[in-house]
Structure 1
Amino acid sequence: MAGKVLCEETKLYNVQNQYTFLPRLAERHYFCLTGKHFYLISIITAINAKWDSDGKFIMPLDVEVESMRYIIVYDSSTYSLSDSGPAIDCADSIEESSQFPVQILSGGDEKFSALYPFLRTPVSLYNIRELESLNSYPVEILPGKLYMGDYRQATNLQILKDLKLNVLVSVSDECSNCTVLHIRKSDLITSFERMCVFIGSHLNNSSSVLIFSTLGVSRCCAVTIAYFMYHLKYTLKEAWNHIQQCKANMRPNRGFVQQQQ
């Protein structure tokens, strides 16, 4: 039995927005979000939980619990594993077969939807093609403050609006029209301190900041690691682990990282 754990809303957001060439949501063995829907609009990709006449949760036939990396359940507002309600009942039924701990969304639909209203939808079922076409958002490094993504996301005006992003730091080969600070690849190593001061000053003024590079896996990660070490006094290992939890496929250039040791 894998057990149950609480899942903070930021973690669900980041899990939903992992991608390689395609969104991870399109991978059949990666992610399952299921919940008791109280409204016509629910969290995107969520499966509506159903129970039989004996009150036992019925797992959808196309969900292979044993192989799912993330199974996250939610109801309206569960905050503790000691609570009672649909999310706990659902998790109790699933954890017997799950290889990984079943995660219960802390605060439920009410809290998540208040923070991420753009991730709500009336669509109750997606096919593979629809999942592959979903827009991935930049991952959230510091909740509501610091994000990390790629050039495509940085130039998507709807994404910028949804996340209320008003400061963009580019370490991409391209420079978007709305970029506030653009550092070329050749100048990256000599510009770490300048970028960290720039990012810190805007975060201190309650602005939300997106750090982006072309693919969103190398240079932006190196800059974010530098910020955590320079401003937040993280060790390299602590910064690396934090960012990797937010973006699983981070691949900062080894030369950039060595400059920060």
Structure 2
Amino acid sequence: MEGLEFVEPSKLYNILQQATVFSCLSDPNYLLLIDARDKDNYNESHVITAKRAIKSENDEFIVPYDAELECKENIIVYDSNTASLKDQGPAVNCGSLLWDMGSRNTVKILKGGYEIFSALYPFLRTQKVLFMPREMDDFKPFPIEIIPGFLYLGNWGQANTAYIQKDLKIKNHINCCVELETFFPESGPQLLHIQVEDRNDADILSHFATACAFLDTKNSENTAVLVFSCLGISRSATVVMAYLIHSFKWTLEEAYKHVLDCSSYVRPNRGFIKQLAQWEEDVLGESKTNVDDPNF
């Protein structure tokens, strides 16, 4: 349908986790999340920061008075369980209204609705209706989800926060920091330590094969892994891209695009990008991505 697109639960999860110094949820123009279920279901629980869709006396959706559709970067609507954009359910009907009334970007409809999202991410459910600006500033994001249920990308603080490991069921870490202090105290079956400084001349290429073997093992065991570095934007992102090239036989450009889609703040240094280009050639048998292209 025009103006609407389906999004996976992991996409909404990652949108909720974007942050620099503060969570992106602090920006009032960043996200408008609409719950199109009935009032009782909304009051029982809803996705954090979601606003209930308002209806007129004729039982028709109306645009919230403070929606400012033309300013919102992301508009996402969900109901109980939307399986297709062809469904004329509450989420699609509400999303169509928001598009028709001036959304500047395509309105996203959550695939599977609240039932699927809340089952996957129960820690993002709430009964709270109103969030103050200071609460949004204090919102602590979770690691970014790269491969749903398996591979996460984060920073040192997230890797050492107990409730994050519990909520995401993370049993393994790849530590890309030079520092040794981690949630898992010793290297072993649960922890791979890659000691690399975030410098253009640092050798990270020689660690890719070991990291990929570690991740393959954990994938076969069906246990989740968090790859982290100090800020979660360079060294850890580089290792994650190397695994995507290895596992899915993606080009470097495809791997980079996927990780950027998950987190808009990843920025591997140029030395690491060149080493990823060499890894791409080693894995795929030929060079596919021109990293010297100014558009890359």
Give distance in 1, aligned partners of 2:207 and 2:133.
Answer: 42
1:183 aligns with 2:165: no
- Indicate the larger mover: 77-86 or 155-164: 77-86
Partner of 2:27: 27
Q: Is the 8 A contact 2:229 2:235 kept in 1?
A: yes
Partner of 1:78: 82
SS in 2 for 1:173: coil
Give distance in 2, aligned partners of 1:170 and 1:16.
Answer: 24
Give distance in 2, aligned partners of 1:25 and 1:79.
Answer: 27
Q: 1:52: how far off? A: 1.1
Q: 1:132: how far off? A: 1.2
Give distance in 2, aligned partners of 1:89 and 1:228.
Answer: 37
Partner of 1:204: 220
Partner of 2:169: 164
Give distance in 1, aligned partners of 2:60 and 2:27.
Answer: 27
Partner of 1:44: 48
Letter in 2 for 1:17: Q
Question: What is the TM-score with the length of structure 2 in the denominator?
Answer: 0.85
CA RMSD of superposed structures (Å): 1.5
Partner of 2:160: 155
SS in 2 for 1:168: strand
Count of aligned residue pairs for this structure pair? 261
Give distance in 2, aligned partners of 1:75 and 1:207.
Answer: 30
Give distance in 2, aligned partners of 1:2 and 1:98.
Answer: 12
Q: Is the 8 A contact 1:137 1:159 kept in 2?
A: yes
Q: Is the 8 A contact 1:148 1:221 kept in 2?
A: yes
Give distance in 1, aligned partners of 2:245 and 2:252.
Answer: 7
Give distance in 1, aligned partners of 2:275 and 2:34.
Answer: 44
Aligned residue runs from structure 1 range 221-232, under 5 A:
221-232=237-248
SS in 1 for 2:248: coil
- Ranked by relative contact order (alpha carbons within 8 Å, sequence separation 6 or more), the top structure is 1
Letter in 2 for 1:161: K
Partner of 2:147: 142
Give distance in 1, aligned partners of 2:222 and 2:52.
Answer: 37
Letter in 1 for 2:8: E
Give distance in 2, aligned partners of 1:231 and 1:192.
Answer: 12
Partner of 2:288: none
Aligned with 1:107 (options 108, 112, 132): 112
Letter in 2 for 1:61: Y
Aligned with 2:62 (options 58, 64, 71): 58
Give distance in 2, aligned partners of 1:153 and 1:163.
Answer: 11
Q: 1:189: how far off? A: 3.3
Give distance in 1, aligned partners of 2:183 and 2:206.
Answer: 24
Q: Is the 8 A contact 1:2 1:102 kept in 2?
A: no
Partner of 2:96: 92
Q: 1:125: how far off? A: 1.2
Aligned residue runs from structure 1 range 234-249, under 5 A:
234-249=250-265
SS in 2 for 1:259: helix
- Indicate the larger mover: 198-207 or 177-186: 177-186
Partner of 1:6: 6
Q: 1:36: how far off? A: 2.6
SS in 2 for 1:185: coil
Partner of 1:117: 122
Letter in 2 for 1:140: E
Give distance in 2, aligned partners of 1:33 and 1:144.
Answer: 23
Residue identity over aligned pairs, in percent, reads: 40
Change (3 A) 1:177 1:113: closer
Letter in 2 for 1:7: V
Q: 1:2: how far off? A: 6.5
Q: Is the 8 A contact 2:36 2:94 kept in 1?
A: no
Give distance in 1, aligned partners of 2:5 and 2:243.
Answer: 30
Q: 1:177: how far off? A: 3.5
Partner of 1:133: 138
Question: What is the TM-score with the length of structure 1 in the denominator?
Answer: 0.95
Q: 1:217: how far off? A: 0.8
Change (3 A) 1:244 1:118: same
Q: Is the 8 A contact 1:144 1:208 kept in 2?
A: yes
